[in-house]
Amino acid sequence: MMLKAVLLDISGVLTEDGEALPGAVDAVARLQSNGLALRFLTNTSRKTSTAICDELQRLGFAPAPEQVFTAPGAIRRHLERSGLRPYLLIHERLEPEFADLPRENPNAVVLGDAEQRLDYAHLDEAFQLLLEGAPLLAVGTNRYFRQAGALHLDAGPFVRALEYAAGIEAKVLGKPSSDFFHAVLEEIGVAPNEALMVGDDVECDVVAAMELGLQACLIRSGKYRSGDEARAPQARCEASLADLVDALLETR
Ligand SMILES: [Mg+2]
Together in a domain, 121 and 209: no
Together in a domain, 197 and 134: no
Summarised one tens digit per residue, pLDDT across range 115-158 is 999 999 999 999 999 999 999 999 999 999 999 999 999 999 99
Q: How many domains does the chain have?
A: 2
Residue 59 maps to a domain: no
Summarised one tens digit per residue, pLDDT across range 146-202 is 999 999 999 999 999 999 999 999 999 999 999 999 999 999 999 999 999 999 999
Q: What values do phi and psi take at 131, rounded to 5?
A: -65, -30
Together in a domain, 156 and 181: no
Last residue of a domain, one of 131, 146, 172: 172
* Ligand 1 midpoint to CA 113 (Å): 14
* Ligand 1 midpoint to CA 86 (Å): 26
Taking alpha carbons only, the member of 75, 117, 70 closest to residue 98 is 75
pLDDT value for 1: 64
* Ligand 1 midpoint to CA 224 (Å): 9
* Ligand 1 midpoint to CA 9 (Å): 5
Residue 49 maps to a domain: no
- CA atoms of 75 and 94, how far apart (whole Å): 12
Together in a domain, 97 and 39: no
Together in a domain, 142 and 187: no
> What average pLDDT does the segment 78-83 reach?
97
The domain of 131 spans 76-172
Helical H segments across the chain, by residue range: 24-33, 49-59, 71-82, 120-131, 156-166, 178-188, 208-211, 241-250
CATH, residue 153: 3.40.50.1000
Together in a domain, 26 and 99: no
* Ligand 1 midpoint to CA 68 (Å): 14
Residue 57 maps to a domain: no
Q: What is the pTM of this model?
A: 0.94
